[in-house]
Amino acid sequence: MVLTSALRKFLLTLHVLSSLGWAGAVAVFVVIDIAALTGSDPQLGRLLWLALQAAVWSLLVPLAFTSLLTGVMLALGTVWGLFRHYWVLFKLVLTLIATVVLVLYTQTISTVASMAVDPAMSGMDFPSALLHTGGGLVVLVLTTVLAIYKPRGMTRYGQRKRQEQGKQTVP
Ligand code: HEM
């Protein structure tokens, strides 16, 4: 499958918007979490979990799947391929891990958010989500760096494919 120029641009727009939108949204949660931990406002702990609950299925999970799906389509529909270049392969693995961890974490988010609606609980009683949000942000920054720098290394499969294609064009 080779993408037409118009379709590639459309998919790339969706890909960059969803991937960096996902990173930006996670960055907001990291900032709220740090503010809650430093104790600037006791209500921030509660706000963090209620906001996570509001955003997780309506924003974070859809962005993660859009990034993954458009990334795979771009890889398969261009010369990059899905398993030919290490930078694409690493992005695939990192994004898959981040998406699985996010989906698994939705359970914890609903449990803690259901406690956060209880006015008897103090904002200070809520746990931090920094391990997940901060870890997620690091992974998303890493995938962005890989996307921009596109380090050269090719997998053995990619090298073999390139040789085969080279042979086909030289009779
Ligand atoms: C959250 C994770 C991801 C982020 C932050 C991200 C970010 C980006 C960015 C900023 C670009 C534009 C780079 C440029 O045009 O120079 C890009 C392109 C690309 N991404 Fe991703 N990406 C992510 C996930 C993925 C995944 C999972 C795949 C597939 C395995 C993928 C495959 C690609 C490919 C092949 C391109 C080049 C498209 C082209 O040249 O038309 N990305 N990515």
Mean pLDDT for the stretch of residues 7-33: 98
Instruction: Say yes or no: CB of residue 53 within 6 Å of ligand 1.
Output: no
Within 10 Å of residue 113's Cβ, how many Cβ atoms? 19
Res. 3: pLDDT tops 70: yes
DSSP tag of 124: G
* Closest Cα to atom 8 of ligand 1: 147
pLDDT of residue 15: 98
Q: Indicate which atom in ligand 1 lies nearest the CA of residue 89.
A: 30
The predicted model gives 114-128 an average pLDDT of 84
3-state secondary structure 7-57: HHHHHHHHHHHHHHHHHHHHHHHHHHHHHHHCCCCCCHHHHHHHHHHHHHH
Residue 125: pLDDT band by 50, 70, 90 thresholds?
A: confident
- Cα separation, 62 vs 54, in Å, equals 13
Q: Where are the domains positioned within the chain?
A: 5-169
CB atoms within 10 A of CB 71: 24
Question: And the tokens for 159?
Answer: 């090298």
CB-ligand 1 contact for 14 (6 Å cutoff): no
Smallest CA separation from ligand 1 atom 32, residue: 71
154 by DSSP, 3-state: which? strand
pLDDT for residue 134:
98
Nearest CA to ligand 1 atom 39: 74
Cβ–ligand 1 distance for 3 under 6 Å, the answer no
User: Does the CB atom of residue 72 touch ligand 1 within 6 A?
Assistant: yes
CB contact at 8 A, 151 and 96: no
Distances (CA, A) of 3 to 7, 57, 99, 148, 150: 6, 30, 25, 20, 20
Q: What is the pTM of this model?
A: 0.93
- Identify which of 74, 86, 149 to mutate to test ligand 1's pocket (most ligand atoms within 8 A of the CB): 74
Portion of the chain with pLDDT greater than 90, in percent: 85
For position 39, what pLDDT does the model report? Answer: 83
Which stretch of 26-30, 59-63, 113-117 has the lowest confidence by average pLDDT? 113-117
- Round the average pLDDT of the chain to a whole number and report it: 94
CA distance 169 to 77: 20
Per-residue confidence (pLDDT) for residue 168, from 0 to 100: 62
149, 150, 171, 169: which is closest to 161 by C-alpha? 169
pLDDT value at 170 more than 50: no
- Tell me the pLDDT tens digit for each residue of 70-91: 999 999 999 999 999 999 999 9
- pLDDT tens by residue, 129-151: 999 999 999 999 999 999 999 99
- Please tell me the distance between residue 147's alpha carbon and the centre of ligand 1 in angstroms: 5
User: Ligand 1 atom 1: the closest Cα is on which residue?
Assistant: 19
Average of per-residue pLDDT across 26-43: 92
